[in-house]
């Protein structure tokens, strides 16, 4: 089980790092959101601390930019914000 947790954790971290390189990409945030949901549904504990830290950084940067665009009517940004808020909730992050 430790090998599965390690492999899954590394894959999730890689997904989050890809999002760092292109933070406005809706498909990347959607995929990460779905992957975290899957990881949390498994009967093993996956260490998501690094993902939480990265998402906290997104909350301070990309989230704020996307939220402004979403409020201005940009549909792509609205989808990104929705997925990010769902992901943040799954990671127990409070987004103000």
Question: Would you list the domain boundaries of the chain?
Answer: 2-90
From residue 93, alpha-carbon distances to 56, 59, 72, 76, 87 in Å are 7, 9, 25, 22, 9
Instruction: Report the percentage of the chain scoring pLDDT > 90.
Output: 78
Looking at residue 33, its pLDDT comes to 95
Looking at residue 20, its pLDDT comes to 86
What confidence tier does 2 reach under pLDDT thresholds 50, 70, 90?
Answer: confident
Tell me the pLDDT tens digit for each residue of 23-60.
888 999 999 999 999 999 999 999 999 999 999 998 88
pTM: 0.88
């Amino acid at each position: 089980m430790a090998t599965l947790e390690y492999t899954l954790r590394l894959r999730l971290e890689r997904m989050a790092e890809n999002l760092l390189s292109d933070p406005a990409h809706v498909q990347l945030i959607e995929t990460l959101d779905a992957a975290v949901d899957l990881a949390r549904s498994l009967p093993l504990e996956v260490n998501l601390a690094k993902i939480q830290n990265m998402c906290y950084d997104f909350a301070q940067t990309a989230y704020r930019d996307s939220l402004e665009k979403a409020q201005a009517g940009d549909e792509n940004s609205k989808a990104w914000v929705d997925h990010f808020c769902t992901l943040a909730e799954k990671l127990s992050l409070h987004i103000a």
